[in-house]
Amino acid sequence: MAEIIIAGAGHGGLTAAYNFARNGYSVTVYEKKQRSELGYGWKDSMSPSAFNFCGMPMPEKKVFTPGVPNCYYSPSAEIKLLPPDPVNYSKYIDRKDLYDILIENCESVGVKFNYGANIRSATVSGDRVTGFMTEKDGALSEVKGDLIIDAAGVDSPVRTSLPASVGIQNILADNEVFYVYRAIFDRKTDESLDPPYGVFFYRQDRPGIDWIVCEENSIDILVGKFGKMTMDEVDASIADFRERYGFIGDNMISGGGGIYRIPVRKTLPLIVANGYALVGDSAAMAEPLSGSGITMSMKAGKMLADAFIVDYSEDFSAARLWRYQYRYFNEIGNGYLSQDIYRSALVQMTSDDIEYLLREKIITIKEIEGAGSYVFNDIADKVRGIGGRRSLIPIFVRAGAALAAAGRTAKAMPSTYDKDAVTEWAALYGK
């Protein structure tokens, strides 16, 4: 029987594990943390329909908290933008509850777990990934599999150690990563933001996004930046929030575990190779601007399994795995190309630029809630509108051209695997 090994108990890996195992494959997950350490001390947005999509039983309603409308603030906080009603908000779920659900599902179909296994690097033979090296209790050993699923997150030790012969992009540029800190504090007073969920752009001249969520008994603060962020920047942001908003308490209730990294770029050009497939953050599938990393990872895990379980195949060649990549890009990945162009344009802008674009209504709530999908529509109108700030014109023109090219690239993706054609397409997409 084919042996599938999964690097990291990411959401995408667990979803793939569940679907492969219930269709007769032998699956083992290797995770560096202990079972009790998985998850964070907060709730995150996800789409409950992901469970249906992934062939999993719908969890009880009580694990989901209803979403709330976001209010967006300009860098000076003088401009406030509210979404029009009605909006279909995502739901929130505690990450520990989510892990419990995913792992219980996996265990119910015989997936094996190996916790405390710190993966060090990939093992490769020619252009085929054959396994990985893990360190457990001080001993290093090699684990081999017929298919290696990489669900070990943005800094996956498997992906980052692959040699060029495998053909996978293993390094992300610094501004393709969103650095983020999150902590939950107690409340000093009963006051709140109105509405209670505020998203703040480019505060303190930092190219990033912060938020404050006023809960009944606590205040949830996130500080984020496109590119490397230091704890000094985090502390300065929280101190400034405290000065402006007297309701933020001094005592941290949960979170605060340091600065995390989330990929913020289009999906990697190639997410499959011989014996190897990437899912989730390790493939840069997350889209932090729209809070979709969990849902995308899970859907990718299901699509990966679907490519094999339709006719029980043990052929894990790149050619067979291409079915997964082709479907993922057509159903999800290509739809995020415009957000990547939005992000590339944003990181070239200053706080003053953002203040100007919001004040002049060149970027409106429609563009923000669409997480960039519409920003460069009607590009000619937008360029005319930014006449008062000429330095923005080339950024918008380049973005418009990139958007047109992205549409052509998406259409040019080969539907069946031919190594030369796929390599050529990946180079085009990578640009």
Q: How far apart are CA 250 and CA 253, in angstroms?
A: 10
- Cβ-proximal residues to 160 (8 Å cutoff; 6+ apart), any chain: 170, 171
Using CB under 6 A as the binding rule, whether residue 297 contacts ligand FAD is answered as yes
User: Which range in 37-45, 169-177, 244-252, 407-415 contacts ligand FAD by CB under 6 A?
Assistant: 37-45
Residue with Cβ nearer ligand FAD (185 or 396): 185
Residue with Cβ nearer ligand FAD (141 or 423): 141
Residue with Cβ nearer ligand FAD (33 or 112): 33
Using CB under 6 A as the binding rule, whether residue 268 contacts ligand FAD is answered as no
3-state secondary structure the chain: CCEEEEECCCHHHHHHHHHHHCCCCEEEEEECCCHHHCCCCCEEEECCHHHHHCCCCCCCHHHEECCCCCEEECCCCCCEECCCCCCCCCEEEEHHHHHHHHHHHHHHCCCEEEECCEEEEEEEECCEEEEEEEEECCEEEEEECCEEEECCCCCCHHHHCCCHHHCCCCCCCHHHEEEEEEEEEEECCCCCCCCCEEEEECHHHCCCEEEEEECCCEEEEEEEEECCCCHHHHHHHHHHHHHHCCCEEEEEEEECCCCEEEECCCCCCCCEEECEEECHHHHCCCCHHHCCHHHHHHHHHHHHHHHHHCCCCCCCCHHHHHHHHHHHHHHCHHHHHHHHHHHHHHCCCCHHHHHHHHHCCCCCHHHHHCCCCCCCCCHHHHHHHHHHCHHHHHHHHHHHHHHHHHHHHHHCCCCCCCHHHHHHHHHHHHC
Q: How far is the CB of 30 from ligand FAD (least distance, A)?
A: 6
Show the binding pattern over residues 91-120: x = contacts ligand FAD (CB under 6 A), - = does not.
---------------------------xx-
**Which of 17, 19, 45, 106 is the binder for ligand FAD (CB under 6 A)?**
45
Cis peptide before 288 (omega within 30 of 0): no
Using CB under 6 A as the binding rule, whether residue 262 contacts ligand FAD is answered as yes
User: Which range in 31-39, 51-59, 79-87, 233-241 contacts ligand FAD by CB under 6 A?
Assistant: 31-39
User: Which range in 29-37, 164-172, 209-217, 346-354 contacts ligand FAD by CB under 6 A?
Assistant: 29-37
Using CB under 6 A as the binding rule, whether residue 5 contacts ligand FAD is answered as no
**Which of 4, 5, 6, 10 is the binder for ligand FAD (CB under 6 A)?**
10
Using CB under 6 A as the binding rule, whether residue 17 contacts ligand FAD is answered as no
Using CB under 6 A as the binding rule, whether residue 11 contacts ligand FAD is answered as yes
Q: How far apart are CA 349 and CA 405, in angstroms?
A: 22
Give residues 141-160 in contact with ligand FAD (rule: CB under 6 A): 151-153, 157
Number of residues that this document lists for the chain: 431
Q: How far is the CB of 312 from ligand FAD (least distance, A)?
A: 25
Give residues 186-225 in contact with ligand FAD (rule: CB under 6 A): none
Using CB under 6 A as the binding rule, whether residue 294 contacts ligand FAD is answered as yes
Using CB under 6 A as the binding rule, whether residue 182 contacts ligand FAD is answered as yes
**Which of 260, 374, 417, 425 is the binder for ligand FAD (CB under 6 A)?**
260
Using CB under 6 A as the binding rule, whether residue 8 contacts ligand FAD is answered as yes
Q: How far is the CB of 68 from ligand FAD (least distance, A)?
A: 12
* CA-to-CA separations, 185 to 42, 219, 344, in angstroms, rounded: 11, 5, 33
Using CB under 6 A as the binding rule, whether residue 9 contacts ligand FAD is answered as yes
Using CB under 6 A as the binding rule, whether residue 12 contacts ligand FAD is answered as yes
Using CB under 6 A as the binding rule, whether residue 167 contacts ligand FAD is answered as no
Position closest to ligand FAD via CB: 293
Count residues contacting ligand FAD (CB under 6 A)?
34
* CA-to-CA separations, 28 to 1, 4, 104, 115, 289, in angstroms, rounded: 13, 7, 14, 10, 32
Q: How far apart are CA 4 and CA 340, in angstroms?
A: 32
The pair of three-digit structure tokens given for residue 119, joined into one six-digit string: 């993966």
Using CB under 6 A as the binding rule, whether residue 346 contacts ligand FAD is answered as no
Give residues 115-134 in contact with ligand FAD (rule: CB under 6 A): 118-119
**Which of 208, 269, 280, 372 is the binder for ligand FAD (CB under 6 A)?**
280
Residue with Cβ nearer ligand FAD (152 or 172): 152
Using CB under 6 A as the binding rule, whether residue 33 contacts ligand FAD is answered as yes
**Which of 292, 334, 338, 344 is the binder for ligand FAD (CB under 6 A)?**
292
Q: How far is the CB of 38 from ligand FAD (least distance, A)?
A: 6
The pair of three-digit structure tokens given for residue 48, joined into one six-digit string: 């409950």
Binding site for ligand FAD (CB under 6 A): 8-13, 30-33, 38, 44-46, 118-119, 151-153, 157, 180, 182, 260, 262, 280-282, 286, 291-295, 297
